[in-house]
């Protein structure tokens, strides 16, 4: 077992389900706190967010429905909530890691009710899938944003008949 494997094992034993933004791997620089403003939202993020909000159609926590946007899509008032934050590039575009949610529920799960969010995800996708997603969230690497945009545009067209320019 190499050093990184031992570090990952130790990290998992100490904090098996804490959200990604509350821990760092050995040897990684900690990011400065600053909220959402530090993460750049690009066209791939927008396409992924639209897909998640269309897929769910309502807040998965409270059931609030999305309101129609200017194109009649019921997504207004919903966010794409990530369990492992968008700073975790390896799960940033992972469908299992994101759900639609209203702003109020998104804020609750981001701050006060992290354990409720974890329990929801485990119930939703199962313990094995959750643990696999947890480990994927700790892998290093950069996403190919052009490929992500191509993929999510194709999924929007295939699943919802929506063509983004």
For the chain, list the strands marked E by DSSP: 67-68, 74-76, 78-82, 98-102
The total number of structural domains that make up the chain: 1
3 falls within a domain: no
In a domain, 8, yes or no: no
Question: Is 132 domain-assigned?
Answer: yes
Q: Which of 40-49, 52-61, 67-76 is most confident? A: 52-61
Q: What angle do CA 28, 122, 41 make, to 5 degrees?
A: 50
Q: What is the pTM of this model?
A: 0.74
Nearest to 11 by CA among 25, 30, 28: 25
pLDDT of 10 above 80:
no
Contact 66, 76 (CB under 8 A): yes
Does 27 reside within a domain?
no
State how far the Cα of 30 lies from the Cα of 32, in Å rounded to an integer: 6
Structural domain includes residue 71:
yes
The answer, yes or no, to whether residue 154 has pLDDT greater than 90, is yes
Q: How far apart are CA 128 and CA 94, in angstroms?
A: 15
Q: Which of 20-24, 49-53, 159-163 has the lowest mean pLDDT?
A: 20-24
Residues β-bridged to residue 67: 76
Q: Which domain holds residue 151?
A: 39-160
pLDDT at 133 over 50: yes
Q: Could you tell me how many helices (H) and strands (E) the chain has, helices first?
A: 6, 4
3-class SS at 81?
Answer: strand
Q: What is the 3-state secondary structure (H, E, C) of 124-164?
A: HHCHHHHHHHHHHCCCCCCCCHHHHHHHHHHHHHHHHCCCC
């Amino acid at each position: 077992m190499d050093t990184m494997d031992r570090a990952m094992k130790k990290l998992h034993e100490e904090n098996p389900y804490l959200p990604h933004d509350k821990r760092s791997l050995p040897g990684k620089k900690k990011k400065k706190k600053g909220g959402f403003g530090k993460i750049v939202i690009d066209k791939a993020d927008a396409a992924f967010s639209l897909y998640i909000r269309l897929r769910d159609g309502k807040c998965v926590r409270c059931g609030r429905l999305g309101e129609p946007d200017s194109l009649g899509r019921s997504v207004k008032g919903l966010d794409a909530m990530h369990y492992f934050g968008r700073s975790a590039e390896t799960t940033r575009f992972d469908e299992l890691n994101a759900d639609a949610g209203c702003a109020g529920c998104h804020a609750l799960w981001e701050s006060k009710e992290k354990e409720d969010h974890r329990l929801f995800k485990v119930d939703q996708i199962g313990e094995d899938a959750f643990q696999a997603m947890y480990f994927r969230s700790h892998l290093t690497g950069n996403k190919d944003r052009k490929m992500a945009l191509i993929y999510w545009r194709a999924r929007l067209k295939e699943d919802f008949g929506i063509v983004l320019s």
